[in-house]
Structure 1
Amino acid sequence: MGNSVTSAIDVEAQARDSAAPVYNAVDYLRVSTGQQVDGYGIAYTGDETAAYIARKGWRHVDTFKDEGESGTLPWDERPRATDIMNLALGKNCPFNMVVVYETRAVGRKNRVFWEWVWKLQDLGVYVAIVDDDIDNTTEDGEERMREKADEAFKELNRIRKRTQGGIQKKARMGGYVGGASRYGYRIENKGVKGKQRQVIDACDGGEKCSRSDVCTALHEAVVLRRGRVLVVKYKGNWRRTVRTLNAEGLVTRSGKPWSEPNFRSRLLDEDLLEARYVFRGKSAIKDPDGVPVWGETCVIPLAPMFTPEEVLELRRATEKPRRVYSQGRVYLLTGSIKSQCGKHYVGCSPQSEPSAHYLCAGKREAYPGTPACSCPQLYAEGIEDWAWGSVCDFFRDGKRLQALSDEWMGRAEERKVDFASRLAELDQKIAEQESTIDITMAVAAQQAARRGLSPGEAQAAVNRAIKPLNDGLDELERSRATVAGWQEAASLEDQRGRSLQVLARRARGRLEHFSAEEKQEFFSLLNTEIVITGPPPGMHRGLVCPVGEWFRTHKRPVPTLCDCAWERVMESEGFAGGGVVPRQKGGLAPRTALEAFLKKARTGASWPELDAEHGSTGLIGHWKRWRSSGRWERVMGALEGACQTVPVARAHPLPPMQMTGEVRPGVLLLAMSEAGDRPSHPSASAPSAAACST
């Protein structure tokens, strides 16, 4: 906020100097698109709000601008709207009026608008709308604001329905419904209203092509038809197909070379093979029953790209025998591990590898001939144990969960609106409206009787008299139902913090016993993402440290060598010169070699790293001689119980990484109940909060 914000002392002084109410106003400007930010939209509304404040005789305190922020977001997810609320929540708020140009500047949804307006009103801050010249400083003004706001939101819905209805009509008539044409087709009669159609993008001598000259345009139908021929010729070999297409210059619409998955998805698309365009299909916005919100699904026939015989030939060439998969390993983190190259790891177990691991998707070339990434493979057991251990540690950490709970409860308290008083006001208005209807009905019936109307005519006269009142009652009841729904949603938000504590109690002692399938589901519910930030230390493909493996096999920790422990080794082995002098020039003393072996077991360092550290090239030879002669077992026997120990390094060292996720108490409680521990606490789904472990 700028320096123009007036202090509360100035506000009070000004109030004492004038008998009329003094309003110190800030204007709130919001635009959601870059074009509005850069140009006319925000400048125009700013001029209008400033002029309105001056015309009202209010004091202009400051301006708040949310640029590029959607009106569907609640106020606490918009930076400058949040700043206004934080000032209003403070002890010395420097303003008592917020001016907006129109209702949608506050929000494009009914609840978003009213939660902000009511929260400010509860704090003694009013809202004025320039476009309708109304504010909520009086009961009459508040009623007008409710009517205007409801009317504005209804109009937005009507406009959207009309627009969507027009598009729906086009779809039913088989016309072009807007957007990009599907691959292989182009828009005919582009720009001619009512005559636009999707037609096959083949050379017809028109537009950029000429029947007399060589056509230089890259027609998409040519690409698909040539690709179909190649796939059949190469018997379903997609790699050879796309390499040939790219070499012939038959590339994608954007001019990039084809990749195997990209071209396969284009050519085998069922809508292409069935010569149709499905409007409001899988990607359409749907209601809870799965029905498209803005209209029914329409199938628009298109000119076929291939003949039925060509489609059958393509299907046979690409038909693969169905694989029968045996019950394999469950990979808990497939798609959740992000590599340094930007791709994600997937679980795999090739026959050449003795253990399961994750492989970066970047290993697969983007299109034939491009280089693959060099991200190392990650051994599955190690990274899954680390990730699951981090999850268990998080839910065991009472202080951390309490802090998260307090944060949620604090946010819920900040956003809390006095819905109860609004419902009470609406109940009173509904009662008054019902009383008015009863009186009007009685008066209308008496008038009908005096006029000598028949029973049917009298009933019609009464209905005409009370219709506007019934419409108003219906509107009030709809508003009450809406506010009651908001109140219920707010109470669920209040419950998040309490649900988190219940989740923490139930998680302790439960998560450690989850099956692999339950762990996989839990990771999914957490929206887990692991980001690799560096290469694994000492990682060598397929190799396991033999020193560390000895300790892991014998289930022993690694001893730390000290002088007292070395004396016990000397009693066992009797090295010449106290074991600290090499037997030959350039060699290693026995104690130095033993310390290197123990360091390798502790850290997983490679043989070359240790050789470089000690100026040697023969450590691995020392190790083999110690193992084959039985010296290693004797030395370990001498050191057992003689010195402090540390854990052995992992068999396959993990890279540096960070893990993030979302904690949704209601969802996780339900998952845990399905895993065999049904909670007694309500488990309604709630908005998520971030949790992080590294």
Structure 2
Amino acid sequence: MTLRAGAYLRVSTDDQTKGYGLDVQDTECTRFIEQQGWTLADLYTDDGVSGSLLERPEMDRLLADARAGRVDVVVVYKLDRIGRTNRVYFELEGRFKDLDVPIVSATQGVSTDSEDDELMVGVLSTFGQLERTIIRRRTQGGLQRAAEDGAWPGGMPPYGYKSQRRPRGQGKRGSFLVIDEAEAAVLRAAYRYLVEDGLDVGDTAARLNARGMVTRSGKPWSVVNLRARLLAESTTEARVVFRNPARASAGRGVKLDKDGKPKHGATVTISLPPIFEPAEVAELREALRPTRPGTGPERRAYPLSGRLFGQCGAHYVGAKSGRKDRPSGAGVGPAYKCRGRRAHHRGDSVCDDSAIPAHEMEQRVWAEVVALLGDAARLRAMAAEWVDSQRGADVDHAARVAELDAQIAERSATLTRTAADYMRAGVAPELVKAATDELGAELDALKRERDDAARWLAQAEQATARATDLEALAVGARERLADLGPDERAEVLQLLDVRVTVTGPVPMPQIGTPCSLSRWFIDNDRLVPAELDEEAWALVEPIVAEWEAGRRTHSGTMLDGRAVLNAVLFKARTRCTWREIPERYGNGNSIHTRWKRWQADGVWARIMDALPNAGTPHLGMVGLPPVRIEGRVDPRLVADAGAGPETAPQETGSPGPVTSAMSAGCHLLLRDRQAACVTCAEDVLDQIGPLGGVAPGPVRLSAELAPESARVLDAIPRSGGGPAVIARACGRDLEPTMRALGLLAAAGLVERCPAGWRRTR
């Protein structure tokens, strides 16, 4: 069968100057593929990508095609095209080796599937890393000298400046920064709008965009972008800092050592010709100050930030609302504002929803959370939803694990039986390997699938066990949760994965003073009951009936007491006016008159005392939109509320901290049950038996090997080695050594490794 070759080409800026251009690589790889009689599957080209990066777009595509079976061999110009560091190269080589896809160099005559080339491959990879280190050192040194000489070390100049070559005969050669008059004119125009005309940043950006004075990339100015350019160090201080440690956390390229200092050279400050005078800079900074001292928003936690979503789809964030959020021009204090209201550029369509008062919305959501955590049935339902979303409700993982165990046992027996039959028949090791590889691959796939199913089974069982404890968790939840502060509430909302979605119009905050009904709920700190059901009405019906006795209108009729009470509660819940009460309750003016009489006679207080303090928080002077509150309970995050008193921890053989390579190895042996931890002489006797005795234990498979195979097994180095190395160590020829390695592999005593062959662990 003709092999399908994928030609991988990679070039960085440094490589192009060394004759490693894409055209050269393409020509050599294509010629090599034709000489081998292979078919070119596709070209995979990473242009301008460093060889020190593990993840690259075209490399990822090549790996995907290799997994899909569309590529049989990878051809490169040189092995350093795969990776310029040993870490990256051997990682990628291992990935292709796992797919049985070798890497072949078109110019170096080596292949990763040739055991004779393994040493050369390692040497070439090391030289590739050394070459990259030398190039980087020379490049970084040149940049350092340029910066120290006041030249521009390269890259995109800051806004308002451009790079210009220094003329011959005027000092040291190189590029330096000069004022870009076109961009400087934009900055000066922004200064005039802000300082002289008193515009804000948004209006300034709109004026600049209208005049065609756009950004360097040709896009309109946004508020954020314009503010950043005006307050940049190059604009306000006429300087740039090369290798600035303060910018390392922002991912701006400078790399720091363990002491927090630049890794490739000292920090250098490069002076620039100023665009503004110092006095102008001071005026510009004053104009760009977001607020005057002492007028900033009160610092508080906003637990619903990022969890409250508007009708436009954008999320709300906490902020202090101002005059734009209510008709009277007065702010309503801490609030949540929709991110969709912020235009990226002037003229963009924005969300027109009002700000939502923070305290009232938080109270409303928290009341729902407290009710949830006090309801074991709802907790169990949400926990079940989480489990189903994680594993699929209709999957029986226990049955699947049992089924896969049976299949693995059957495949293992078949593999062992086939290998043993072939070895007894004297079949060559290469044929044995070819015959058993497919069975081995099927067995590995089944084991991976079984591990996945077992993991899901354990997770589901754990979730089920946690869910049974939720009823105990719900006991006393209301009392504990009521005392939590904003930060702790935010943590609970995160654990429950709460999402609040606005489902209707957001009302504007009201102005003026609250009505007498609202004032009563505010002063008495009462929750507003829901529509009265039969049980609730039975609590207050005697009080209403007693008041109604003897109070009849001239026509002998009277408003229905239950309807009046429900209408009053409806007004308290919705904050509507008396006239806006729905007709199903009756005439709003008559209901208002009845409520005033109840209040004057003390009946209203008796009615509310008879009803439990449950329902929704009163809205006071603010309105809340209708919302949908959703959440899920991850049972793994729920504390084991049913646990009894703490017991003393049981002594185990758990390893302590890793302090050396030797201790890391000891810990691995203990965790994998390959070694026992002994702490005294009695423990040693339990393991090895008394002096002169023989410790019981399983018979090692290697003890039953033929002398030739045992000799080869003993000669394999601990770190592994190639067949030639092993043959020399055991004093045998290469052919019998290869045959013995095949038998040992079939018996599971040795395995392939990057160095060649090694003992199985």
Q: How does the TM-score come out when normalised to structure 1?
A: 0.51
2:103 counterpart residue number: 129
Contact 1:330 1:517 in 2 (8 A): no
Bigger CA radius of gyration? 2
Q: Which of 297, 301, 304 is matched with 2:267 structurally? A: 297
Q: Which of 645, 648, 652 is matched with 2:616 structurally? A: 648
Contact 1:538 1:605 in 2 (8 A): no
Q: Describe the SS at the equivalent of 2:36.
A: helix
Contact 2:85 2:125 in 1 (8 A): no
Counterpart of 2:147 in structure 1: which amino acid?
A
- State yes or no: 1:200 paired with 2:197: no
Q: Describe the SS at the equivalent of 1:271.
A: helix
Measured in 1, the distance between the counterparts of 2:483 and 2:2 equals 61
Q: Cα RMSD (Å) of the superposition?
A: 6.9
Q: Which of 347, 354, 360 is matched with 2:319 structurally? A: 347
Report deviation, 1:653: 4.7
Counterpart of 1:55 in structure 2: which amino acid?
Q
- Change in CA separation of 1:254 and 1:533 when aligned onto 2, cut-off 3 Å: farther
- Change in CA separation of 1:49 and 1:307 when aligned onto 2, cut-off 3 Å: same
- Change in CA separation of 1:272 and 1:557 when aligned onto 2, cut-off 3 Å: same
CA offsets 1:479-522 (integer angstroms, 9 cap, x no match): xxxxxxxxxxxxxxx9xx99xx99x99x99999976545677x6
2:36 counterpart residue number: 55
- State yes or no: 1:286 paired with 2:261: no
Measured in 2, the distance between the counterparts of 1:190 and 1:388 equals 70
- Change in CA separation of 1:342 and 1:148 when aligned onto 2, cut-off 3 Å: farther
1:305-344 map, 5 Å: 305-308=275-278, 310-311=280-281, 323-324=293-294, 328-333=298-303, 336=306, 340=312
Q: Which of 45, 54, 79 is matched with 1:72 structurally? A: 54
Q: Describe the SS at the equivalent of 1:146.
A: helix
Which has the larger displacement, 271-280 or 310-319? 310-319
Counterpart of 1:181 in structure 2: which amino acid?
P
Measured in 1, the distance between the counterparts of 2:314 and 2:563 equals 43
Q: Describe the SS at the equivalent of 2:234.
A: helix
1:565-576 map, 5 Å: 565=537, 569=541, 572-573=544-545
1:600-615 map, 5 Å: 607=576
Measured in 1, the distance between the counterparts of 2:277 and 2:214 equals 23
Q: Describe the SS at the equivalent of 1:624.
A: helix
- Change in CA separation of 1:243 and 1:353 when aligned onto 2, cut-off 3 Å: closer
Contact 1:28 1:81 in 2 (8 A): no
Measured in 2, the distance between the counterparts of 1:645 and 1:187 equals 72
Contact 2:205 2:222 in 1 (8 A): yes
CA offsets 1:512-569 (integer angstroms, 9 cap, x no match): 976545677x699x89999876555664435999789959943575354349958974
Counterpart of 1:130 in structure 2: which amino acid?
V
Measured in 1, the distance between the counterparts of 2:121 and 2:484 equals 55
Measured in 2, the distance between the counterparts of 1:286 and 1:527 equals 36
Contact 2:3 2:72 in 1 (8 A): yes
Contact 2:187 2:230 in 1 (8 A): yes
Counterpart of 2:54 in structure 1: which amino acid?
T
Contact 1:559 1:645 in 2 (8 A): no
Q: Percent identity?
A: 23
Q: Which of 558, 581, 585 is matched with 2:530 structurally? A: 558
Q: Describe the SS at the equivalent of 1:356.
A: strand
Counterpart of 2:335 in structure 1: which amino acid?
H
Report deviation, 1:172: 3.0
- Change in CA separation of 1:377 and 1:628 when aligned onto 2, cut-off 3 Å: same
Counterpart of 1:347 in structure 2: which amino acid?
A
Q: Describe the SS at the equivalent of 1:374.
A: coil
Aligned residues: 507
- Change in CA separation of 1:84 and 1:517 when aligned onto 2, cut-off 3 Å: same
1:374 counterpart residue number: 352
Measured in 2, the distance between the counterparts of 1:335 and 1:190 equals 53
CA offsets 1:69-122 (integer angstroms, 9 cap, x no match): 9953399x958746866x8xxxxxx7996636466776676545534544665x
Contact 1:127 1:136 in 2 (8 A): no
2:186 counterpart residue number: 223
Segments of 5+ residues of structure 2 without an aligned counterpart are 12-20, 324-329, 393-454, 549-554, 638-653, 659-761
Q: Which of 261, 273, 282 is matched with 2:236 structurally? A: 273
Measured in 2, the distance between the counterparts of 1:528 and 1:225 equals 51
- Change in CA separation of 1:542 and 1:299 when aligned onto 2, cut-off 3 Å: same
1:174 counterpart residue number: 150
Q: Describe the SS at the equivalent of 1:151.
A: helix
Q: How does the TM-score come out when normalised to structure 2?
A: 0.47
Q: Describe the SS at the equivalent of 2:261.
A: coil
Measured in 2, the distance between the counterparts of 1:258 and 1:138 equals 59
Counterpart of 1:73 in structure 2: which amino acid?
E
CA offsets 1:650-675 (integer angstroms, 9 cap, x no match): 85356458899x9xx9xxxxxxxxxx
Contact 2:543 2:603 in 1 (8 A): no
- State yes or no: 1:359 paired with 2:327: no
- Change in CA separation of 1:325 and 1:627 when aligned onto 2, cut-off 3 Å: same
Report deviation, 1:199: 1.5
Counterpart of 1:126 in structure 2: which amino acid?
D
Measured in 1, the distance between the counterparts of 2:9 and 2:575 equals 58
Q: Describe the SS at the equivalent of 1:629.
A: helix
- Change in CA separation of 1:313 and 1:286 when aligned onto 2, cut-off 3 Å: same
- Change in CA separation of 1:97 and 1:683 when aligned onto 2, cut-off 3 Å: farther
1:269-668 map, 5 Å: 269-281=232-244, 282=247, 283-287=252-256, 288-308=258-278, 310-311=280-281, 323-324=293-294, 328-333=298-303, 336=306, 340=312, 345-348=317-320, 352-353=330-331, 356-360=334-338, 363=341, 373-381=351-359, 386=365, 515-516=485-486, 534-536=502-504, 539-542=507-510, 550=521, 553-555=525-527, 557-558=529-530, 560-562=532-534, 565=537, 569=541, 572-573=544-545, 607=576, 619=588, 621=589, 624-630=592-598, 647-648=615-616, 651=619, 652-653=624-625, 655-656=627-628
